[in-house]
């Protein structure tokens, strides 16, 4: 199991980014969270097997490409601390 921590910047708030991230996480059976950042960006922490994680990130990139200016991705070992995927407020 792996963990991915991603920070997205651009016009990513108010465009359904968090709901898209949540729907896709459920599609790929991934766990973690997504939230709006105070800087106008979106922060994402997601865990699962490497292949579904890569597919998930690629699909977010395709679906939200118009809104994302930059993404900073950090791969880490999974912790197993999550049981589902949630939008944090």
Q: Would you name the residues annotated as active-site residues?
A: 18, 36
Q: Name every residue whose Cβ is closer than 8 Å to that of residue 68 and which is 6 or more positions away in sequence.
A: 8, 9, 10, 12, 61
């Amino acid at each position: 199991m792996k963990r991915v921590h991603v920070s997205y910047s651009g016009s990513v708030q108010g465009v359904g980014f968090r709901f898209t991230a949540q729907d896709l996480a459920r599609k790929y059976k991934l766990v973690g969270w997504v939230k709006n950042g105070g800087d106008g960006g979106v922060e994402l922490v997601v865990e699962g097997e490497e292949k579904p994680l890569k597919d998930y990130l690629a699909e977010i990139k395709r679906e939200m490409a118009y809104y994302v200016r930059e993404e900073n991705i950090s791969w880490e070992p999974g912790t197993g601390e999550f049981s589902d995927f949630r939008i944090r407020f």
